[in-house]
Amino acid sequence: MFAENSDIRTRLDELVTDTVAGDSVIAVISGFSAMGKTETLRILMDRASAAGVTVLHVVSSRAERCLPYTTLEKILGLTELSQGRHAEPMGPGCAHAGDLGAVARDACSAIAAATARGPVLIAVDDVQFADEESLHCLQYAAHALRGGGPLALVLTWDPARGDEAPAALRSFLQRPGVRRIRVDVLTVEGIAERLAARWGRRRAAELAPRYYGLTGGNPLLVNALLEDGWSDGPPTGHNFQEAVDLCARRAGAVALEVTRCLAVLGDTRDLSLVGRLSRVGVPRTRRALEQMNAVGLLSGSRFRHPAVASALLAAMPAEALSQVGYRAAQLLYEAGEPTGAVVERLRSVGPLPQEWVLPVLDEAVREALAEHDIRRAISCLQFAVACCTDKNLYYVYQRRIAELYSLIDLGAADARLLALKTPILADELGGAESLRVAIARLASLHFDDALEIIRHVAVSERPTREGERAWWRLVCLTLAANYPGLLDRAGVPRPAELDLDPGAERDGTPLLRTCEALVTVLTRTDDASAMRRAVRVPDEEAAAGEDVDVYVCALLTLVYSDALNDAARWCDRGLGMPEDAPVWRVVAHCFRALVALRQGRLTEAVERADELMAHVTHHEWNDSLGLLLATLIEAHTAAGNHQAAAECVSRPINPALFDTRAGLHYLYARGRHHLAAGRLYGALADFMACGERMRQWDVDTPALAPWRVGAAETWLLLGRRDKAAALIEEQLAWFGTSELLPRAHGATLRCAAALRPPVERPPLLERALGMLQRVDDRYESSRVLADLSQAYHLLGEETKARTAARRARRLTRGHQGKKARPAAAAAAAPPPVPVRAPVPQESGAPGQGDKFAKLSGSERRVALLAAAGYTNREISARIYVTISTVEQHLTRVYRKLGIKRRDELPMDFGAGV
């Protein structure tokens, strides 16, 4: 500091000159800690010594403040002054007035004797720590010798310690005639002077502003950075870190505590929070922050650089850091700070087993899940485990962690769930929590573990409280909906014994309500009102998309109700989940493939299913992936890719799959593959095995798997029309007059038409086509159109046959690609067999004539040609209008007839017109 300040140099020279000249001088070198007071004093002593001045130098320390006359003894070497007077160290001002006066006179005489031999400089460093008795004596001597000898008394002190200074020192410093030398921070130019020797003047001029911005001009910090060779980037050198800690310590206990608390809290403008954390109050906190600004560690209420805060925290004892961190977290919690901030404070210092911590962590988990941040939620739960002292709650947190792992890592989830089995059987986990573990084990096809847990809960008769009863009901519904093959082994009530009414007012979680809806669709499809209520449940559950199990139940309810457009919308919702929730995306892709298959978009179904199956490992097998494999087999088969389908069928699967609902899909899909490959008895075995299970498990709905249609097609190819007719009659009787499940109903009508004489087929096929168009099933629609083309051909109506064939080709290109051929009829039209079937409707839908009447003449001509299979260009050439006019006419036709595209124009449009 001395080298960079010419004013200080001049004043020090004057002080030495006056002392040598015989004057009595009192001077105070003041400045905040680490500003260079000691360095300035050393330079003064060196100059004074060089000028022939006797230098008496002492450094006061905090530990000696309560030892009377200690500083004076150091100065004079008169240890006998205190001999015989104080057997024990005495506090400031405890000496008798007579003794203090005698000591002061003796000290004055000794100093006078020293000055008689030549100029004397008494230098006291850190005088704020000197004992009060010594200060009284020095003040007396300075007054007595004023103008009477060459004496210089120079003191260094920190004005930040004004509150700690004894009264004698304050009186001493306020004496008239005291010379004051203020040592302050370096300027940018001063820093550049210091850096020039190391970096050269040009480079030093560039670095000086950076040094100043980081240190505020604090000489100690500047020197530390210089020793570390810092020029850019975070200051991570050891010297800088030590210098920061030393600056804070020199500032005093209050400033040190306040600065450390600020480092723990991070940059904050809330002085009351810092004051409460440091336990010194707001006024002292404000003064401490002002002092740290003057020292150069802070700029306002913020650290000049994060490295400064890091250095302070690194220097704190671990226990002290933990205690301050805990207090900071609790203060933030009590002040209503965001949960994330409180949790970060706790995590930075370690687990805290206090009651207020767990609710904070629970809230943090909820926030993380609301943002779909699964890994952050798991991290919070793991920290809660470390903070938890209650054994039952400990296992609850472990169960929650396992459930969340099932969304990102099925292998890790399985291991954690398996570890919970022992405490469950030891009754260390509640009934509801145990059942949740059982449901999770069911999902990963670990049936033995799941059933053991379910039976244990049932035997212990613990499902008595409301929450436990709800979870017991959910277990029953889950088994009925997803694992019906386990119902008898589990010993739980069957669906018929449960009160299933999705429209009833009943409390429960979204998962329970959507599961009830799914079971209703699978077991009570003959009840139209119950099915309609069940389909509404998913959209009525606002939170349904936030839980993957609710999501799956809702999707299945929509798919099995033929609400495929709604199901596609729900799939897109799942596909929008973030990348770190892969199970969400897997489930969404799986059901998007299923929806695409049921809508006849075979290429999309294959692409989505193939993409997922390529990444499936053995330990990840569950019922959803079994459904995915079944979807892939059926899509390949429908698209005519029999080799690819055979490769999927040959893939090893978990035998437990055949006890699940997904296993029914697999049996049906494998039967379709065998049928397409000509292995008729293998196909028949799979269809009948599927049907047997569905009847036995009380889920015999064609919405799940239309096994009767598949078996009937097989019997037809085997030449057993009687058996085919019996199955189709049974299926049609199941539908009755209901218009539910149009996809399965349309496929059944197509098969029924194959059993009728050619003249009776078109009405049935037209009705089937209308039903399939309601669910936008292009594949089945193309099969119906192919059969319809064949029927018209047999009846000699070639125009209608060509029109139907064209429409079949167009639909086939839409779901299989441009090179694909239209789907062939299920079987050649055999001789008529008397089959009881619904009476075919008249040509055209009811009220269709009224719609035709709304068309203008031009619109009728365009519609007639479009229904006959002509393209827009061919129509424009025939009736001598532009292609744009044709398109406009068709748009109006579609609107008036209530249809969406050309394929939906009735085959008998000409008759209607």
Give the highest mean pLDDT range of 42-51, 67-76, 458-467. 42-51
Banded pLDDT at 764 (limits 50, 70, 90): very high
The DSSP annotation for 209-253 comes to HHHHHHHTT-HHHHHHHHHHT--SS----HHHHHHHHHHHHHT-H
- Proportion of the chain above pLDDT 70, given as a percent: 85
Q: Which two tokens stand for residue 535?
A: 């389909």
Among candidate residues 162, 139, 158, 168, the one with its CA nearest the CA of residue 26: 139
Do 249 and 176 have their domain in common? no
Q: Taking the complete model, does pTM exceed 0.75, yes or no?
A: no
Mean residue pLDDT of the chain comes to 81
Banded pLDDT at 620 (limits 50, 70, 90): low
Do 168 and 209 have their domain in common? no
Do 763 and 697 have their domain in common? yes
Within a 10 A sphere around the Cβ of 911, how many other Cβ atoms? 13
Q: What is the pLDDT of residues 859-903, one digit of tens each?
A: 888 888 887 667 888 788 888 788 888 888 888 888 888 888 777
Do 192 and 178 have their domain in common? no
Q: Rounded distance, CA 265 to CA 501, Å?
A: 55
pLDDT exceeds cutoff 50 at 827: no
Q: Report the CATH number that the domain containing residue 167 is assigned in CATH.
A: 3.40.50.300
737 phi and psi angles, rounded to 5 deg:
-95, 5
Do 769 and 874 have their domain in common? no
Single-letter amino acid, residue 563: A
Residue 406 lies in a domain: no
> CA 843, 844, 846 angle in degrees (round to 5)?
115
Q: Report the CATH number that the domain containing residue 760 is assigned in CATH.
A: 1.25.40.10
Residue 430 lies in a domain: no
Pairing of strands 151-157, 302-303: unpaired
Residue where a domain stops, chosen among 184, 208, 224: 184
Do 140 and 240 have their domain in common? no
The predicted pLDDT at position 907 comes to 58
Residue 281 lies in a domain: yes
Q: Range of 285's domain?
A: 186-316
Q: What is the pLDDT of residues 310-364, one digit of tens each?
A: 899 889 888 888 888 888 888 888 888 888 888 888 888 888 888 888 998 999 9
369 phi and psi angles, rounded to 5 deg:
-70, -35
Residue 460 lies in a domain: no
Do 110 and 169 have their domain in common? yes
Q: Rounded distance, CA 688 to CA 699, Å?
A: 14
Q: Rounded distance, CA 1 to CA 566, Å?
A: 78
Residue where a domain stops, chosen among 184, 203, 235: 184
What distance, in Å, lies between the first and last C-alpha atoms of the chain?
106
Exposed, middle or buried by CB within 10 Å (0-12, 13-18, 19+), for 426?
Answer: exposed
Element holding 26 (H helix, E strand): strand 25-30
Residue 110 lies in a domain: yes
Q: What is the pLDDT of residues 457-500, one digit of tens each?
A: 888 766 666 667 888 888 999 999 999 999 888 888 777 676 66
The predicted pLDDT at position 778 comes to 87
Element holding 195 (H helix, E strand): helix 188-199
Residue where a domain stops, chosen among 184, 200, 234: 184
The predicted pLDDT at position 866 comes to 82
Q: What SS3 state is found at 14?
A: helix
Do 237 and 131 have their domain in common? no
Q: What SS3 state is found at 121?
A: strand
Q: Report the CATH number that the domain containing residue 875 is assigned in CATH.
A: 1.10.10.10
Pairing of strands 54-59, 151-157: unpaired
Residue 834 lies in a domain: no
Do 47 and 145 have their domain in common? yes
Do 785 and 853 have their domain in common? no
Instruction: Give the number of domains in the chain.
Output: 4
Among candidate residues 122, 156, 104, 126, the one with its CA nearest the CA of residue 53: 122
Residue with tokens 């075919």: 840
Q: Rounded distance, CA 102 to CA 107, Å?
A: 9
Do 752 and 800 have their domain in common? yes
Element holding 805 (H helix, E strand): helix 798-816
Banded pLDDT at 582 (limits 50, 70, 90): low
Residue 397 lies in a domain: no
The predicted pLDDT at position 98 comes to 47
The predicted pLDDT at position 835 comes to 32
Rounded mean pLDDT of 434-450? 90
Residue 357 lies in a domain: no
pLDDT exceeds cutoff 50 at 854: yes
Within a 10 A sphere around the Cβ of 542, how many other Cβ atoms? 8
For residue 443, how many C-alpha atoms fall within 13 Å in the half-sphere facing its CB? Answer: 23
Do 138 and 273 have their domain in common? no
